[in-house]
Amino acid sequence: MNGFPFAIVGFDLDGTLVDTLGDLTAAVNHALALVDRAPLAEAAVRPMIGRGAKHMLEQGLRASGGVPDGAVERLYPELLDFYEAHIAVHSRLFPGVVAALDRLDALGVRTAVVTNKAEHLARVLLGQFDLSGRMGVIIGGDTLGVRKPSPEPIHAMTRRCGGGRTVFVGDSIYDVMAAKNAGVPSVAVSFGFLDRPVGELGAHHVVDHFNELVPLLAAL
């Protein structure tokens, strides 16, 4: 471990490792078009991301005119099918992700993803960027039957990675709360899909670029 203070670094996915805003917005607007709703701008969809696709759809319907009875159940499969078929049209890794993972690998640190996105979709998305095989564990919102801000996905990540001191990196209040509930330090990224100023998330630390992450963790 070369004296590095963490054995495991866990990451959120959307808004943390990958900028998925364009493709998630397109999926929401596809579903809205099926019920003759006007499309939403990316800026409107951004704060809806973080609790999974069904929550995002509910929020999209509410923002565009309300949630009719049965609409979420009817449109949710349509949204998922469209999203999977167009999962990486606009999505891109945030700058510095690969270099940070390379550095963590060189230090012998195990990396993992805990996301509220469905596990299958998380694996497909990570595979588009050749990252799925680099993660020791990938836990989705449907993997355990509970999702962030529950601590259980963080606990499961740590167990499945073999145990050791853990830190979690994310961009939302759900990430920070999950880490807090699990008793592990949290790092917030200021460039994610924030629904409030990053300083109000309550994370232990904040980074503005992935090139800051490993030096920060090394100093803790």
Instruction: Give the residue numbers annotated as catalytic, written as ranges.
Output: 12
- Is residue 139 within 8 Å of 151, Cβ to Cβ? no
| C-alpha dihedral sign at 87, 90, 95, 99 | positive
Tokens representing 91 are: 């999505």
Burial class (CB in 10 A: 0-12, 13-18, 19+), 1: exposed
**Alpha helices (runs of H) in 53-96, residue ranges in sequence order:** 53-63, 71-85
* Residue 52 to residue 116: CA distance in whole angstroms: 5
